[in-house]
Amino acid sequence: MTADHAMDFYIDGRWRPSVAASAIPVVNPATEAVIGHVAGGNAADVDEAVAAARRAFPAFAATPRAVRIDLLRRILALLDERAEAFAQAISMEMGCAITFARASHVPFGIAHVRTQIEVLEHYPFLTERAGFAVAKEAIGVCALIAPWNWPLYQITAKVAPALAAGCTVVLKPSELSPYSALLFAQVMAEAGTPAGVFNMVGGAGEVVGAALSAHPDVDMISITGSTRAGILVAKAAADTVKRVVQELGGKSPNLFLDDADFETGVAKGVLAGMRNVGQSCSAPTRMIVPEARLAEVEALAVAAVGTIQVGDPADPATVLGPIANAAQYRRVQAMIEAGIADGARLICGGPGRPDTMKLGYYARPTIFSDVTPAMRIAQEEIFGPVLCIMPYDSEADGIALANDTVYGLGAHLQSQDIDRARRVAGQIRAGQVHLNFPAWCAHAPFGGYKRSGNGREYGEAGFEEYLETKAIVGY
């Protein structure tokens, strides 16, 4: 495949080649074939992009609210218009089923822009109190590091609130899923984004990400990625005391109380844990169930896996395409082997590709039961279609299992008694708890407790991460 400007960066309102870019191959995970190359930037490219953003910041921060709303509306219209192109790019570059790209990746990504328009329309930037006022002001130049697993979705979750707040940005998309980012940069250019307000430099995290994290003219950095990557970013950012917002790893529980609707809930839980081929940081991959219902849950879970078709992402019948890249495929296979070695009981799936797949990074939807907290698969993020079923004795035991992890990003909770569900949700140490599989909401804050990160994204909470607070006493 070729992509417009694949070897260019978008800096200061124009496309231009890197100072000394390397060529990074882009691999289609369904075929393992190299389908193109993109530029890998360096510190000099970062310097140029940050300088452009710094120059643009004073004027953009001073723009009236209505001007920024109009810009976001133009971006929204172009994203809507090009939804199918984004779906095709995402499906090809990271292997998700085209139906899932159309139904989730693209519309949810677009929703972040719409949501920030709604936030910006009514947000109070100045609030008067007794004897003082509180002003909210754009924080400055923001470096935004996006992941490969939800490429458009996480780009808009960062860029839209940053622009709404009046910040200027330098985006570093993942070099593993770069084509949707190139399409997004084209949208930003055609929407009439002022020069320097949006800049994009691609490349490896240890080069471009590291340069952005340590850059003295970057006021804030937002990263979605692994906990390991988030720690490196925070350490690099510490010397310049910039704000760091991290949306990192997860090992999310799906706690079934004894009064849950097991008949429908278990199947939904399996699909929730394996959607996007399990490559979601908040995927509920630990299904925690009453010991007395374990055999029933196992049968329901295996039946649910039987409805999941693994195959060519372009096939409309496909539910799960391949793992997004070779390194992640190796990780998933190693973790399945670790589950077997640690004594977890394999009830479906296992190592290797599905029998029908001879090429591509395809993994078998896999479920382990009788998983204990000491096992690696119960504690480490796998990031693949692998589910752990963990039995418990009492409600208190179930809550303790749900919280027995260094992570705290998302959680699911199943109970037909909504008051009970609300009470137990208050005891789950996670940044977002879903009761009985609710609809996704772009306004609900998203972020983690513990090693799942700091700060929040989405809606008003995500918008406020890009603002400074100023007290004006005697106002």
3-class SS letters over the chain? CCCCCCCEEEECCEEEECCCCEEEEEEECCCCEEEEEEEECCHHHHHHHHHHHHHHHHHHHCCCHHHHHHHHHHHHHHHHHCHHHHHHHHHHHHCCCHHHHHHHHHHHHHHHHHHHHHHHHHCCCEEEECCEEEEEEECCEEEEECCCCCHHHHHHHHHHHHHHHCCEEEEECCCCCCHHHHHHHHHHHHCCCCCCCEEECCCCHHHHHHHHHHCCCCCEEEEECCHHHHHHHHHHHHCCCCEEEEECCCCCEEEECCCCCHHHHHHHHHHHHHHHHHCCCCCCCEEEEEHHHHHHHHHHHHHHHCCCCECCCCCCCCCECCCCCHHHHHHHHHHHHHHHHCCCEEEECCCCCCCCCCCCCCCCCEEEECCCCCCHHHHCCCCCCEEEEEEECCHHHHHHHHHCCCEECEEEEECCCHHHHHHHHCCCCCCEEEECCCCCCCCCCECCEECCEECCECHHHHHHCCEEEEEEECC
Tokens 């990271």 sit on residue: 94
Catalytic residue among 96, 142, 167, 281: 281
- In the chain, which residues fall in CATH 3.40.309.10? 253-441
Predicted pLDDT of residue 455: 97
CA dist., res. 225 & res. 248, Å (int): 5
**In contact, 35 and 89? CB cutoff 8 Å:** no
Predicted pLDDT of residue 118: 98
Catalytic residue among 48, 247, 298, 465: 247
Is the whole model's pTM more than 0.85, yes or no? yes
355-390 residues labelled b (16+ CB within 10 A) or e (exposed): eebeebbbbbbbbbbebeeebebbebbbbbbbbbbb
Instruction: Tally Cβ neighbours within 10 Å of residue 400.
Output: 14
Collect all residues with Cβ–Cβ distance below 8 Å to 263 and sequence separation of at least 6.
Answer: 300
Sequence length of the chain is: 475
Predicted pLDDT of residue 404: 98
pLDDT for 74-104, tens place per residue?
999 999 999 999 999 999 999 999 999 999 9
Instruction: Tally Cβ neighbours within 10 Å of residue 127.
Output: 10
Topology (CATH level 3) of domain 8-248+452-473: Aldehyde Dehydrogenase; Chain A, domain 1 (3.40.605)
Q: What is the pLDDT along the chain (475 residues), one digit of tens a residue?
A: 457 899 999 999 999 998 766 899 999 999 999 999 999 999 999 999 999 999 999 999 999 999 999 999 999 999 999 999 999 999 999 999 999 999 999 999 999 999 999 999 999 999 999 999 999 999 999 999 999 999 999 999 999 999 999 999 999 999 999 999 999 999 999 999 999 999 999 999 999 999 999 999 999 999 999 999 999 999 999 999 999 999 999 999 999 999 999 999 999 999 999 999 999 999 999 999 999 999 999 999 999 999 999 999 999 999 999 999 999 999 999 999 999 999 999 999 999 999 999 999 999 999 999 999 999 999 999 999 999 999 999 999 999 999 999 999 999 999 999 999 999 999 999 999 999 999 999 999 999 999 999 999 999 999 999 999 999 999 9
Q: CA dihedral in degrees (143, 148, 153, 156; nearest 10)?
A: 20
In one letter, which amino acid is 412? Answer: H
pLDDT for 181-219, tens place per residue?
999 999 999 999 999 999 999 999 999 999 999 999 999
What is the dotted CATH code of the domain comprising 253-441? 3.40.309.10
CA dist., res. 413 & res. 421, Å (int): 7
**In contact, 337 and 121? CB cutoff 8 Å:** no
- In the chain, which residues fall in CATH 3.40.605.10? 8-248+452-473
> Is residue 281 annotated as part of the catalytic site, yes or no?
yes
Predicted pLDDT of residue 1: 44
Picking from 428, 329, 447, 435, the residue whose alpha carbon sits closest to that of residue 382 is 329
10 Å CB burial of residue 321 (0-12, 13-18, 19+) is buried
